C-alpha cells in the first residue's frame, strides 16, 4: 500500500467510532434526564437539542470571529470583545 494512503482505513475507523460515541453519549444523557431528573421524553429531547445547537453555534462562531479579528486587528478585537466599556473609554 502506498504510504500516501496508509491512514485512510484508520480515518474510517476513527470516524465510525466518533459517531458511535456521540450517539451513545446522547442516549445515556437522555436516559439520565428521564430517570434521574423526572423529565418526559419530549423535554429530555428538547434539552439535548438545545445543547447540540449551542455546540454548533460555538463551532460556527469561532471562524467568523477569527475573520473579523484578522480584518480589524487582533488587539483591538480582543479589547472590544473582553472589555467593551474600557475600549470605548480609550477611544475618547
- pLDDT, one tens digit per residue, over 82-92 is 765 554 555 55
Q: With both helix axes pointing from N to C terminus, report the angle between 41-72 and 8-35 in degrees, rounded to the nearest 10.
A: 130
- In the prediction, which pLDDT does 87 show? 47
The pLDDT-based confidence of 62 (bands split at 50, 70, 90) is confident
Tally of CB atoms within 10 A around 53: 10
What is the rounded distance in angstroms from the CA atom of residue 6 to the CA atom of residue 57? 34
Task: Give me the mean pLDDT over the 48-58 stretch.
Answer: 77
- In the prediction, which pLDDT does 58 show? 76
pTM: 0.43
Range of the domain at 65: 3-91
What is the rounded distance in angstroms from the CA atom of residue 28 to the CA atom of residue 45? 12
Direct distance between the N- and C-terminal alpha carbons of the chain, in angstroms, rounded to an integer: 65
Task: Give me the mean pLDDT over the 34-41 stretch.
Answer: 89
What is the rounded distance in angstroms from the CA atom of residue 61 to the CA atom of residue 6? 34
Sign of the C-alpha dihedral, residues 28, 30, 31, 33? positive
- When divided into structural domains, the chain yields a total of 1
Contact 79, 90 (CB under 8 A): yes
Amino acid at each position: 500500500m502506498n504510504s500516501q494512503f496508509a491512514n485512510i482505513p484508520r480515518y474510517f475507523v476513527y470516524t465510525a467510532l466518533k459517531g458511535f460515541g456521540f450517539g451513545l453519549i446522547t442516549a445515556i444523557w437522555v436516559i439520565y434526564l428521564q430517570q434521574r431528573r423526572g423529565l418526559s421524553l419530549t423535554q429530555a429531547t428538547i434539552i439535548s437539542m438545545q445543547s447540540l445547537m449551542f455546540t454548533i453555534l460555538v463551532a460556527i462562531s469561532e471562524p467568523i470571529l477569527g475573520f473579523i479579528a484578522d480584518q480589524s486587528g487582533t488587539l483591538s478585537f480582543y479589547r472590544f470583545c473582553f472589555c467593551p466599556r474600557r475600549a470605548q473609554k480609550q477611544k475618547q
